[in-house]
Amino acid sequence: MPPGVVAAINNREALVALESSVLAQGLPEPLNLETARACQEAVRREGATPVTIGVVDGVPLLGLSDREMEIFATGKAPDGSNIEKVSLNNLAAQALRGSWGATTVAATMHIACGGGLKVFATGGIGGVHRGVADSFDVSTDLTVLGRIPLICVCAGAKAILDLPKTVEQLETLGIPVVGYRTEEFPAFYSRSSGLPVDVTVHSPDEAAEVAWRHWRSGITSAILVCVPVPEEFELPAAEIGRATEQAVEEASRAGVRGKKLTPFLLAQMEKITGGRTLQSNRSMLINNASVAAQIALCLNQK
């Protein structure tokens, strides 16, 4: 672990977990590394410590060095093998093989919680996929959110998902959906979805207070703090809807499913929108990291 992370953990300072899949699979080079570093800097500017989580040589790490982040950004481990996308189902396999792995929302939250962290920032969570009645494709992110006491700061769920079913599943799992200065569940690239949140908060301290009271009541699920994408980077819902339908059709024709589906759909939408979804994604990642750091500082005082 980087010395700064070790010192912050030992001193019980405010920490924010960040995922590594955005480096290896989420964004193209060189935007992936630039964005990951911008997220870290956003956390530091607020006075908290960023903890980018990944698996190196089979070992889950709380914090990656600059060199390790550069390697993750290439998508290739030092031995030339692909850096695999790691969730809960293949985390043990990474340890067995001693390989490199980029952690998803689910794996990042699992490792972060084991290290005592309480706040995590990402772009958008996974959820219930369209056509779930045929595919049974539901992200492990929801399972982890239902059982790990962590604040997850996001811009809602990825727009390629079935958002109404995702919100319904969040309710079923007992996960409070907190709107950060919004009364609607954000739709990733769009600021609203027409779906209500459970409660609206207007400050980092209010968000931390909701989490503190939730856990104090004996409930061990996560808190989903939903922050709309910055207004200047919002894409119209109708445009995103059309792009999503086109991307889904392309995936069906290509026979893409499972772990490869989400990266494929996001890449297709980038092409369809002329790269605008990419810039929107970058902006929400950095903005969410900043908000997460503010919440972590408030939570640290409770």
> Any idea of the CA torsion for 142, 136, 158, 145, to the nearest 10 degrees?
0
Query: Which residue among 19, 46, 84, 270 is the active-site one?
Result: 19
Query: Which residue among 68, 85, 118, 158 is the active-site one?
Result: 158
Active site residue 158: yes
Active site residue 302: no
* b (16+ CB within 10 A) / e for 85-109: bbbeebbeebeeeebbbbbbbbbbb
Tokens describing residue 182: 């919004």
For the chain, the first-to-last Cα distance in angstroms comes to 27
Q: How many CB atoms lie within 10 A of CB 210?
A: 19
> Reduced to 3 states, what is the DSSP secondary structure of residue 56?
strand
Q: Report which of 272, 263, 280, 267 is spatially closest to residue 241, judged by C-alpha positions.
A: 272
Could you list the active site residues? 19, 158
